[in-house]
Amino acid sequence: MDSHVRYVLDSLRERLWVKPSLYACLAVGSILAAGIADTHGLAQFVPDINARAIEALVTIISASMLGVATFAVASMVAAYAAASRSTTPRAFSLLVKDRSSQNALSSFIGAFIFSVAGIVAVKVEYYGNGGRFVLFLLALGVMAWVVATFVRWVDGIARLGRLGNTVDRVEEATLAALKAWGSERALRGVPCDAAEPATGEALFASTVGYVRHVDVEALQRWAEAQDAQIVLRARPGTLVTLGQPLLYVQGAGAPIDDDLQDALRKMFVIDDARTFAQDPRLGLISLSEIASRALSSSVNDPGTAIECLSRLVKIFSLWKRDTLDATDEHDVVQDRVRVARLSIDDLFEDAFGAIARDGAHCVEVGIRLQKALSALDALGGQEVQHAARAHARWALERAEAALSFQPDFERVRAAASLINR
């Protein structure tokens, strides 16, 4: 599937109105389709269902579903607010994609629309005997579906917005984003150095905001059509300003006129906020923010910070095993697009910098941080080891400055000695 199509579909999952609208259309369509039974001679084979019985059944559904849907929305909003307070507001976009909640809300609204449309159809005598029988079966099916959905949703809403659930979602999104960059850490393009000087014709940003998505596949197709090379400068997660180059075009056979520039700009999605899809640094920052909030004096929850450190170790370990150490000869797919590699140093700073700063006064966090960095150092790889050892050294220096009780600092120093320097 095209990357831009995937991005659009993923963005639609953040819109709570999309799925309920589809369910509402399905409900109305099923009401109309039930009338087809009257044209196929079904009436002579099925019992005659009294219109009043059907009307009573769908009236019960309509009377209850609107209230249930309102309750569902209130519960979801409360869960989102709780997650923003206890974890980080950046996780909201992940919580709002929760399929269980969206399915429940969509089912309740769809059932309400179904019942209202069913009442109208019965009142205007839209159905004959066959149509009434089909509508009766549909109404029973809707009731069974709503009950089953509600039971499943109650279990899900009890967990939605809780700290552990939110951390799970951030971890999953971060791993997916890291894997999307490929083993060369260049969005499946040709890797290059971020400091490498770029030449060619520049395409400048026309707005201010964060790069949420770059359609690298479309850039590759454009470059092939123009027999050109592209150097991508604004990677996902970058804050771009007016006049800042998004990319450079090298070797194009024709001048890059206004129409071509507009076509290239459409391959970038720029908005006020970052998104997790192509931006693994946002996921690492979010986990770090959750840990930092837990370490604040108002919360004082070092256990959550330690849990976040464990998740960060898991993310880096799985990423290195499944992606960095992979030997996929087809990793570079967009061979006409040069992309600066993800920096391991930047990733470690996003993950551990704030935790080392805010947890320097806490001996438990200091020890766990040193053990986490020691575990990552043991993974091997020159860049990973260099970053792990540097952050272990800085964390130890922070702990020395913050811990006034010497035995506490000695415990942190003992944990730091586990790293092979």
C-alpha distances in Å from residue 265, one per residue of 216, 235, 261, 277, 282:
12, 13, 6, 19, 23
**Euclidean distance between CA atoms 154 and 4, whole angstroms:** 34
C-beta of residue 31 within 8 angstroms of C-beta of residue 122: no
Of 323, 322, 307, 421, nearest to 374 by C-alpha is 421
Instruction: State residue 368's pLDDT score.
Output: 96
Q: Distance between CA 112 and CA 20 in Å, rounded? A: 11
Q: What is the pLDDT of residue 421?
A: 55
Looking at residue 226, its pLDDT comes to 87
pTM of the predicted model, to two decimals?
A: 0.88
Query: Edge-to-edge strand order for the sheet containing 239-240?
Result: 239-240, 209-214, 268-271
Mean pLDDT by 10 residues, the chain (421 residues): 76 86 93 83 73 88 87 87 85 87 91 93 86 89 92 85 89 94 89 80 91 93 90 93 90 76 91 92 96 91 95 96 75 87 95 95 95 94 93 95 93 88 55
Domain ranges (residues) in the chain: 3-161, 182-271, 278-329+342-416
Q: Which residues contact 141 (CB under 8 A, 6 or more apart)?
A: none
Output b/e per residue, 264-274; b: 16+ Cβ within 10 A. Answer: bbebbbbeeeb
Q: Minimal CA–CA distance to 104: which of 43, 161, 60, 155?
A: 155
- Using DSSP bridges, classify how beta strands 189-192 and 334-340 pair: parallel, antiparallel or unpaired: parallel
Per-residue confidence (pLDDT) for residue 420, from 0 to 100: 61
Q: Which structure tokens are listed for 135?
A: 């509508």
Determine contact, residues 37/134, Cβ cutoff 8 Å. yes
Is the Cα dihedral 156, 157, 158, 161 positive or negative?
Answer: positive
- Thinking of the domain 182-271, which architecture would CATH place it in? Alpha-Beta Complex (3.90)
